[in-house]
Copies of this chain bind each other. A is one copy, B any other.
């Protein structure tokens, strides 16, 4: 069966502020040493399984030009622009009806655009296995990451160890981000994996599930599908999509549906959730500093320094994140990386939208 991919690139992540902005979110940034942006890496990674012309990018109008610039080989009609953000269920549904129109049916890999994967060959092998499970019957398949710590920043998925289909385990349930105690129990139980946000299913399967669990959205998606290629397309999309209930695929479908399977992945996944990830991803020097730009460091250890042309001099600092951009500078203790959002809240309150 035809293999397609839907890469979700509508996110407006704030955790890489001030480098990421509303106008340039994380998926369009280069955070690795190779100079490629996150979305470019995502597309490149999947190419052995999916042809360029069968890759769809789901984003919003503000980022359409960025997608075209960074991914000029993606056909323009494969760039799907949501008129408004309605979370992942409508996003995936929109991709699915476009694919149904073009291919009838297909295996659909749904992938975030802003994660890193170190071992591409293991990833592709896992995806291939997942595709096989998805093709059999009406299975919804997801990839789970084997936890290496009781992380509280991710959702978890519980699987049933003795019920397998191919290389996949049957899923017992999806659970929200736990507190630390619960996360420790999950990890100790050896039956929980991190929710990676990657899904594999047939177009027909996900649409059937949408019809069952989000029927109003499904009907709206059908009206959108009928208008594809007509003069009314934009107008119908705008009208129908705006009326959709905002719903995540996890809550809207996965927590309710049957026939859910999970494959455990150990392919060096990183969701690049904050500036701290740059310390993991990029090469550090002998003092543990990860430096990008023009820096002079004196008695400086384990810092992340991201700048441009301007000289950045550091003296006697440790475990500090420094990010200098044209109009904004961030200096943040590594332990406080999660509080960068407070800066953005403050800026919003003061209506200083030019920095968001």
The reply to whether B339 and A315 form a contact with Cβ atoms under 8 Å apart is yes
- Residue of chain B at shortest CB distance from A307: B329
- Residue of chain B at shortest CB distance from A295: B329
The reply to whether A315 and B336 form a contact with Cβ atoms under 8 Å apart is yes
Complex CA gap A257/B199 in Å reads 88
Which residues of B are found within 8 Å of A347, using beta-carbon distances?
A: 296
Q: CB of A168 within 8 A of chain B?
A: no
Q: How large is the interface on A (under 10, 10 to 19, 20 to 34, 35 or more residues)?
A: 35 or more
Q: CB of A311 within 8 A of chain B?
A: yes
Complex CA gap A322/B324 in Å reads 12
The one of B311, B322, B329, B335 in contact with A311, judged by C-beta atoms closer than 8 angstroms, is: B329
* Cross-chain pairs A/B with CB under 8 angstroms, 23 sampled: A17-B313, A18-B313, A296-B346, A296-B347, A299-B339, A299-B342, A307-B329, A311-B352, A312-B328, A313-B331, A313-B332, A313-B340, A313-B343, A315-B330, A315-B333, A315-B336, A316-B332, A316-B333, A316-B335, A320-B320, A322-B329, A324-B329, A329-B329
Q: List the interface of chain A (C-beta within 8 A of B).
A: 17-18, 296, 298-299, 307, 310-317, 320, 322, 324, 327-333, 335-337, 339-340, 342-343, 346-347, 352, 355
